[in-house]
Each structure stands twice: as C-alpha cells, then as structure tokens.
C-alpha cells in the first residue's frame, strides 16, 4: 500500500526534482504516506473482567500477545482496578500504555465519560477491542469490536429470574437494559456460539451478520491429560462462584439424597465453607455432619493452580442456569473429566455427548445422573473421548486472536 503511494507521487509529478518542490498537492500525498506508515493504535478493554473464567482467557491473551497478529499494532490495555488481571505486568513489543478503570460503579461511570474520553483522543486510539463486556463509550469515528459473554441479557425465560427477589430482579433488568444500549453502539459484535448469536440478535434487534461467531480457545494454564477414567469415581468438582444462577445453593439437598441412596462421593467447591453455608436454601434443618462428610472447600483458586485441582477430581458438575461457553467445559475436556451439566440449550449445543444432563432445580435428577456416572467406567470413557473430539474443534490462541485481528483490519479499512 505504501509503495502505491510512492508510485502515485512519481506518476503525478514525473520526476523526483519536481516532487520535492513543495507543491501543495505533493505535500497532501506525502502526509497520506506518513500517516500510513504509522502503526494503528488499538485499545484492548479488559475493564469488566475481575473474576471468573474470563480472567484466565484474558491472562492467556496478555501472555501470548506477541505471538499473534495483534503484534503488528500498537496496543494499549484498559485493565480493571482490582482482581488478578489488575496486577498483570503488560509488556509487549507494541510500546502501548496501561490504564486502569475504577471499580466503584459511580466512579467508573464518571471515568468512562470523562478521563477515558480524553485518553482516547490523547493516545490517538484508532480502534477498540472489548475482550468481554458491554464495550466502552467512544466517538462514533472510532470503530469498536465487542466480545459478549452476557447470557443473562438474552435468557428472559431462565429459572434464574424465579429465584431472586424483586429488588434484585429490577436491578438486574436495569443493568441489562444499559448493557444492551451500549452493545448496540458497537461496530461489530462477537459471540462464542451460534446459540448466543441468535439469542443476542433477537434481544438487540440487530441482524445476525453483525454478530460474528468465534469459539474460545482452551486455557493454556495446564497440559492435556489422557482420557483414562479414574476409579472409583467419587470426587465431583464444582468450579464456580456463589452467584444465584450458579445454583450451588442446591447442593445441600443433593447431598442429603445422595446420602440416603448410599452413594460414596465428595463435592469439591471453589468457595469458602461459611460463605456457601449462608446461601443454602432448604426446607430442612442444616446438619453440619452432612457438610463435613460430603463437601470439601478449596476457596478461590489462582489461575495457575486450576490444573492441579482438575487432576485431583474425577468429574465436573455444572449446575448453572446461565452460560455462554463456560471454561469448565473446555477444561474438563482437556483434563479428561466427564461432565454433568444442567439441561439447557447452551450446554447441549456445546457439550453434546461429553456430558450427562439433569434439571438443576430437581436434586433427584442430579443424583440419578451421578449414579449413572459412578456405575459405569465404560460410559465415562466414551464421554471423555467425545470431549477430546470437541476440544480438537476449538481454535488455538493464535488462531483465535488472528481471526479477531482480521476483523479489526477490516474495520480499519486495511
């Protein structure tokens, strides 16, 4: 492209002596050439990612940045004001800058509409890529690519809404409305599955071709494990926070039914015992002996230690009512664990035969599937092998980020 500008200069003026005679038209073309020689400046927005699976994916991106097509740009990062990502030392060959967004809601709103807007101008940002989130306010002339993992905005029929109080429901509806408004301002949107693409298009009232589908890449924090099921199958991992839609508050009733059925099992939770205990919802009196016998509490696990946790377990349970493309699915495939998943369109679409499915609000349903899994190593082997097939269909980190970089190039007219 730059060579074309050089030839245009020569073709217009015939010889280089004339070219350097400082004619106004020549200066205009020269300015075009100089602007083209400058690397485009991309702001990657991580400001909405403080906890959960998005943290691992974000850290993988930051650590593998220089091996992707993003390395051709000058890249700056907008990090959250707290959490594991906030302390990451972003170093790359791009010579970009690092900014941090406030955590407090009102402080962040003020920052987004004042200081952030100044930074976009001062730093001469050419395009914005929001890694996960609703996007950030920006001038219309600056194109934005927004990756979405907000199933809560496009599942109005979810059981989640029945299990929160009116105040929480109204608050979440207001948040969803604000997110949807911001998302409609994005130049191009990204979803992780075709299920999310269709649901988002209906919710946002936009054509599906505005939402491109790029599946996630599996975390590189641990290595691939062979698909050999462990005996006995008794340790069930629940790698999840305590948000209502994750449904971990159902587990006490599940444990009671498993106890009555004589099952030998342990639920391994990445939560603190007392924090989880306060969230239990049951019509029965809580017996701490049941908790002592059937639960193990690990607390929050740093990204670098998650691989070891998977290796210590025999299967993974996902009780969630709302997911986009849970890291739990991919990590279980990579670790060689079978899955027990809540029966929803997103889980069946993603996991297929690598999982058994149950009604997350029927404890007996989960106990029934646990029995099936515990009782058949052949079934577990089949599920693990199918998971390995699903894993092979996912892009690598460079492949995924190169596809994203290609979208940015298209948006920038390159």
Q: Is the model more confident about 37 or about 157?
A: 157
pLDDT at 260 over 70: yes
| Residue 196 or 326, more confident | 196
Q: Taking 60 as the threshold, does the pLDDT of residue 74 lie above it?
A: yes
Query: Does the pLDDT value for residue 172 go beyond 50?
Result: yes
Per the prediction, the chain carries an average pLDDT of 86
Whole-number Å distance between alpha carbons of 392 and 3: 41
Packed helices 397-411 and 53-63: angle between N→C axes, nearest 10 degrees: 80
Q: What is the pLDDT of residue 90?
A: 65
pLDDT of residue 95: 73
Res 387: pLDDT: 95
Q: Residues 321-325: what's their mean pLDDT?
A: 92
Under the banding of pLDDT at 50, 70 and 90, the label for residue 18 is very low
**Entry pTM:** 0.81
* 49 pLDDT tier (thresholds 50, 70, 90): confident
Angle between helix 251-260 and helix 363-375 axes, rounded to 10 deg? 50
- Identify the weakest region by mean pLDDT among 119-128, 130-139, 202-211, 227-236: 227-236
Rg (CA), the chain: 25
Local confidence band at 225 (pLDDT 50, 70, 90 cut-offs): confident
Q: 319: closest CA among 255, 372, 410, 393? A: 255
Whether the per-residue pLDDT at 34 is higher than 60: the answer is no
pLDDT bucket at 319, cuts 50 / 70 / 90:
very high
As a whole-number percent, the residues of the chain with pLDDT over 70 amount to 87
From the CB of residue 37, how many other CB atoms can be counted at a distance below 10 Å?
A: 10
Q: What is the DSSP string of 251-290?
A: HHHHHHHHHHTT---EEEESS-HHHHHTT---SSPP-HHH
The arithmetic mean of pLDDT across residues 128-156, rounded, is 93
Question: What is the rounded average pLDDT of the residues 32-48?
Answer: 74
Whole-number Å distance between alpha carbons of 123 and 97? 9
Q: How confident is the model at residue 182 (pLDDT cuts 50, 70, 90)?
A: very high
Q: CB under 8 Å to 355, separation ≥6 — which residues?
A: 329, 338, 339, 340, 341, 347, 383
Cα angle 371, 377, 380 (rounded to 5 degrees) comes to 80
Q: Does 3.40.50.2000 match the CATH number of domain 235-392?
A: yes
Burial 226-255 (b: 16+ CB within 10 A, else e): ebebbeebebbbbbbebbbbbbbbbbbbbb
Predicted confidence at residue 92, as pLDDT, reads 56
Residue 410's closest CA among 148, 141, 145?
145
Is the pLDDT reported for residue 116 higher than 90?
yes
Among 148-157, 270-279, 396-405, the minimum mean pLDDT is found in: 396-405
- DSSP per residue, 307-323: HHHHHT-SEEEE--S--
Average pLDDT over residues 128-150: 92
Q: What is the pLDDT averaged over residues 239-267?
A: 95
Average pLDDT over residues 218-242: 81
Query: How far apart are the C-alpha atoms of 279 and 277, rounded to whole Å?
Result: 5
The larger pLDDT score, comparing residue 153 to residue 85, is at 153
Q: So what's the pLDDT on residue 16?
A: 42
Note the pLDDT tens digit of each residue in 359-384.
Answer: 999 999 999 999 999 998 999 999 99
The domain segmentation of the chain, as residue ranges, is: 2-36, 41-217+396-411, 235-392
CA-CA-CA-CA dihedral for 133, 138, 140, 146, to nearest 10: -20
What residues have CB less than 8 Å from 395, skipping those under 6 apart? Answer: 214, 215, 217, 403
Model confidence at 205: pLDDT above 90:
yes
Confidence grade of residue 31 (pLDDT, cut at 50, 70, 90): very low
For residue range 332-354, what is the model confidence (pLDDT) as tens digits? 999 999 999 999 999 999 999 99
Rounded Cα gap, residues 212 and 146, in angstroms: 10
Closest CA to 336 of 366, 316, 362: 316
Check residues 229 and 401 and name the one with the higher pLDDT.
401
- Over residues 152-165, the pLDDT tens digits come to 999 999 999 999 99
CA dist 2 and 6 (Å) reads: 7
Are 154 and 203 contacting, i.e. CB atoms less than 8 angstroms apart? Answer: yes
Written as six digits, the tokens of 221 are 């924090």
CATH topology of domain 41-217+396-411: Rossmann fold (3.40.50)
Partnered with residue 238 across adjacent β-strands are 269
Q: Comparing C-alpha atoms, which of 50, 347, 56, 340 is closest to residue 216? A: 56
> In DSSP terms, which residues pair with 42 in a beta bridge?
75, 127
């Amino acid at each position: 492209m730059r060579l074309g500008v050089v030839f245009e200069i020569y073709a217009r003026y015939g010889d280089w002596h004339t070219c350097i005679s400082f004619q106004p038209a020549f200066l205009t073309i020269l300015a075009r050439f100089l602007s083209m020689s400058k690397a485009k400046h991309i702001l990657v927005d991580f400001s909405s990612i403080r906890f959960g699976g998005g943290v691992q994916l974000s850290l993988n991106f930051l650590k593998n940045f220089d091996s992707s097509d993003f390395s051709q740009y000058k890249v700056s990062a907008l990090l959250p004001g707290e959490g594991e990502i906030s302390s990451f030392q972003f170093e790359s060959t791009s010579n970009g800058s690092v900014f941090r967004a406030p955590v407090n809601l009102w402080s962040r709103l003020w920052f987004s509409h004042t200081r952030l807007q100044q930074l976009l101008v001062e730093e001469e940002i050419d395009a914005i890529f929001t890694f996960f989130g609703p996007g950030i306010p920006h001038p219309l002339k600056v194109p934005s690519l927004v990756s979405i993992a907000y199933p809560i905005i496009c599942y109005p029929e979810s059981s989640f809404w029945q299990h929160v109080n009116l105040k929480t429901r109204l608050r979440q509806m207001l948040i969803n409305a604000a997110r949807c408004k911001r998302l409609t301002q994005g130049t191009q949107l990204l979803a992780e599955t075709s299920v999310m693409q269709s649901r988002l298009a209906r919710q946002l009232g936009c054509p599906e071709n505005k939402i491109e589908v790029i599946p996630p890449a599996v975390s590189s924090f641990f290595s691939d494990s062979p698909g050999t099921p462990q005996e006995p199958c008794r340790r069930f991992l629940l790698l999840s926070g305590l948000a209502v839609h994750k449904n971990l508050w159902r587990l006490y009733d599940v444990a009671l039914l498993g106890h009555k059925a004589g099952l030998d099992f342990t639920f391994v939770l990445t939560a603190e015992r007392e924090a989880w205990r306060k969230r239990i919802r049951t019509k029965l009196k809580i017996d701490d002996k049941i908790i002592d016998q059937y639960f193990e509490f690990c607390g929050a696990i740093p990204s670098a230690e998650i691989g070891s946790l998977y290796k210590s377990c025999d299967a993974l349970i996902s009780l969630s009512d709302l997911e986009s493309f849970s890291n739990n699915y991919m990590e279980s495939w990579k670790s060689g664990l079978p899955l027990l998943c809540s029966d929803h369109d997103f889980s069946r679409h993603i996991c297929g035969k690598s999982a058994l499915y149950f009604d997350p609000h029927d404890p007996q349903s989960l106990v029934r599937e646990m029995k099936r899994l515990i009782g058949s190593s052949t079934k577990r082997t089949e599920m693990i092998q199918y998971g390995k097939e699903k894993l092979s269909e996912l892009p690598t980190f460079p492949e995924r980020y190169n596809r994203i970089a290609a979208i940015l190039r298209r948006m920038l007219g390159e």
